[in-house]
A and B are shown apart, each in its own frame.
Chain A
């Protein structure tokens, strides 16, 4: 740690005093292993990837990979295809989690059981979800058999190996996370606030709209960010229940193809960097929006 010389300081102030002034002491060594670890295994690979992305295999200048990515529609469109999946999925998961969590706040009978049931889908994993979707929602699955049996449809509905399949898979795996986060933010809001609003004559919808939702909004921003990260890195499900060569050729498939099918690490890194930038832009936008919201105490326990 470098410590700037403080000229105004009295001569009696030794280095020890100046370090103390900045809050530096021996305890800080404890943070060193973790810092070193993240620097070596996260920051360095990231910079390495960035460097690699500017060294295209086939030459053509530092930006050749980026130019190629944005000029080749097959590659460029993966951004759009990913966004088309990840944004609605994240929005849906967050939006759906709000009423469910809202109905669960306070003392609800069987709260723990219901929570557990709603969280269980986390354990399903992408493969079981994908297999299940193919089996259950496929043309000969129980769902289509039931629907045709009830004469609700004549033709089996196509729910897998297309956009819908991946979307459903993202909802099944992503909803429990969004729900858990929303529930914990919601339980951090003091229930007395809503009661206070009720004594002032606010109806239940008004209480939700004017009291709970504004207090919940910053938490929802974070929930959305995390839900979006999950959906944005969609990869296995896009392969298994989607159409990996067409409508659901998402950006991570492109990155993987480049790096490990064509062994063009440079292009693979380029796509990884583009993903990171998009992700960071989305996070930044959400955080900017969040900064405009009320962020103080929610009066609750947490």
Chain B
């Protein structure tokens, strides 16, 4: 097999002049990149204006604020109890990640490996929570959680966030498991390994990259999930996005700069998450894996 690859490189080298027209910048590509760059500069300025404002004292009708300070961060930190909020956010996100992986991975295993009656219906069931806007099931779910006395508690927030997270894990992990040779599991069984051992000693090590990717994506999604948390959170179970949103609508009494400071904190933490994520996941593959999902 491996010997086959060597002779291929030679004709490929020959065809590469043919391939160069694609990499040589063409008129439309140059124009395109100019447009993209222009829009990007605007976007950067947009973000910068928030960051600048969050460090500014008074900024009204000038190019830059009068002077700079960090006290908006301190204010926001105390006023919105950010240490508590960040802790809650972290707890919720981690709980959602762990539970969705525990529930989702076994299900993806079955979907990847078996065909059984009703499989298509089940696939549809797992796609729907991602395809319908969260608010459509969020409202009835929130009313139900109120009934079950779970709304406002951490449990309620976690449960609500799990609704899109579990299908998300299933849809990212199913293709990942499909690409692992089922014969490897068969071999483990033939060596006498029961299902539990096949999972812990064979599949898990092989699935680590996929699980890690799914975990990070779920984490990012959960931290950024506004609607469901907003609908189910109470004062003690507010996450960063929701508390940010609350801050915006209380802005009448609070300084705009505090909100900016909070938004900056939020974006900075999301950016850290995303950059960590991109170290583990190739950004193009991160969605390739979900790509066939709505066809089912």
Task: Give the complex CA separation of A74 and B113 in angstroms.
Answer: 51
B87 within 8 A of A: no
B144 within 8 A of A: yes
Please determine whether B111 and A31 come into contact, CB atoms closer than 8 angstroms.
yes
- Give the Cβ gap from B34 to chain A, nearest Cβ, in Å: 12
For B, the interface residue count at a CB cutoff of 8 angstroms equals 98
- Give the Cβ gap from A217 to chain B, nearest Cβ, in Å: 13
Task: Give the complex CA separation of A106 and B8 in angstroms.
Answer: 19
Task: Give the complex CA separation of A126 and B227 in angstroms.
Answer: 11
Residues of B within 8 A of A (CB): 15, 18-19, 21-23, 26, 28-29, 32-33, 36, 40, 42-43, 45-47, 49-50, 53, 60-61, 63, 103-104, 106-107, 109-111, 113-117, 122, 125-126, 128-144, 159-160, 162-163, 166-167, 170, 195, 220, 224, 226-227, 231, 241, 244-245, 248-249, 256, 259-260, 262-264, 266-267, 270-271, 273-275, 278, 283-288, 291, 293-295
Given contacts A42-B128, A180-B286, A185-B291, 17 further A-B contacts (CB under 8 A): A33-B106, A38-B166, A45-B144, A48-B140, A48-B144, A121-B43, A124-B270, A125-B244, A127-B262, A131-B256, A132-B47, A140-B60, A142-B49, A180-B287, A187-B284, A239-B249, A252-B135
Please determine whether B50 and A135 come into contact, CB atoms closer than 8 angstroms.
yes
- Give the Cβ gap from B8 to chain A, nearest Cβ, in Å: 12
Task: Give the complex CA separation of A31 and B125 in angstroms.
Answer: 12
Please determine whether B63 and A142 come into contact, CB atoms closer than 8 angstroms.
yes
Task: Give the complex CA separation of A117 and B36 in angstroms.
Answer: 11
Residues in A with CB closer than 8 Å to B263 are 125, 127-128, 131
Please determine whether B132 and A280 come into contact, CB atoms closer than 8 angstroms.
yes
A236 within 8 A of B: yes
Residues in B with CB closer than 8 Å to A273 are 136
- Of chain A, the residue at the smallest CB distance from B28 is A99
Task: Give the complex CA separation of A133 and B45 in angstroms.
Answer: 10
A103 within 8 A of B: yes
Residues in B with CB closer than 8 Å to A239 are 249
Among A23, A38, A44, A131, point to the contact of B50 (Cβ < 8 A): A131
- Give the Cβ gap from A228 to chain B, nearest Cβ, in Å: 10
Q: Which of B23, B29, B131 has the most CB of A within 10 A?
A: B131
Sample (27) of A-B pairs whose CB atoms are under 8 Å apart: A22-B116, A27-B113, A38-B126, A42-B129, A103-B32, A108-B23, A112-B283, A119-B274, A125-B224, A127-B245, A127-B259, A129-B46, A131-B248, A135-B46, A135-B260, A136-B46, A136-B50, A184-B285, A188-B288, A232-B133, A252-B135, A265-B139, A265-B140, A276-B137, A283-B131, A283-B294, A290-B295
Please determine whether A34 and B104 come into contact, CB atoms closer than 8 angstroms.
yes
Residues in B with CB closer than 8 Å to A252 are 133, 135, 227
Task: Give the complex CA separation of A236 and B259 in angstroms.
Answer: 15
Residues in B with CB closer than 8 Å to A39 are 125
- Of chain A, the residue at the smallest CB distance from B265 is A128
Task: Give the complex CA separation of A24 and B137 in angstroms.
Answer: 32
A222 within 8 A of B: yes
Residues in B with CB closer than 8 Å to A143 are 42, 45
Residues in A with CB closer than 8 Å to B241 are 125, 127
Residues in B with CB closer than 8 Å to A232 are 133
Please determine whether B135 and A255 come into contact, CB atoms closer than 8 angstroms.
yes
Residues in B with CB closer than 8 Å to A123 are 220, 267, 270-271, 273-274
- Of chain B, the residue at the smallest CB distance from A271 is B139
Please determine whether B291 and A34 come into contact, CB atoms closer than 8 angstroms.
no
Residues in A with CB closer than 8 Å to B275 are 116
Please determine whether B131 and A225 come into contact, CB atoms closer than 8 angstroms.
yes
Contact with B along A151-176 (1 / 0, CB 8 A): 00000000000000000000010000
Task: Give the complex CA separation of A190 and B61 in angstroms.
Answer: 54
Among B21, B29, B141, B249, point to the contact of A45 (Cβ < 8 A): B141
Residues in A with CB closer than 8 Å to B33 are 103
Task: Give the complex CA separation of A210 and B130 in angstroms.
Answer: 33
A128-B47 CB under 8 A given contacts A195-B19, A272-B135: yes
Q: Which of A108, A123, A259 has the most CB of B within 10 A?
A: A123
Contact with B along A23-66 (1 / 0, CB 8 A): 11111101101110111011111101100100000000000000
Task: Give the complex CA separation of A56 and B22 in angstroms.
Answer: 61
Please determine whether B166 and A302 come into contact, CB atoms closer than 8 angstroms.
no
Residues in B with CB closer than 8 Å to A148 are none
Please determine whether B132 and A276 come into contact, CB atoms closer than 8 angstroms.
yes
Please determine whether B140 and A269 come into contact, CB atoms closer than 8 angstroms.
yes
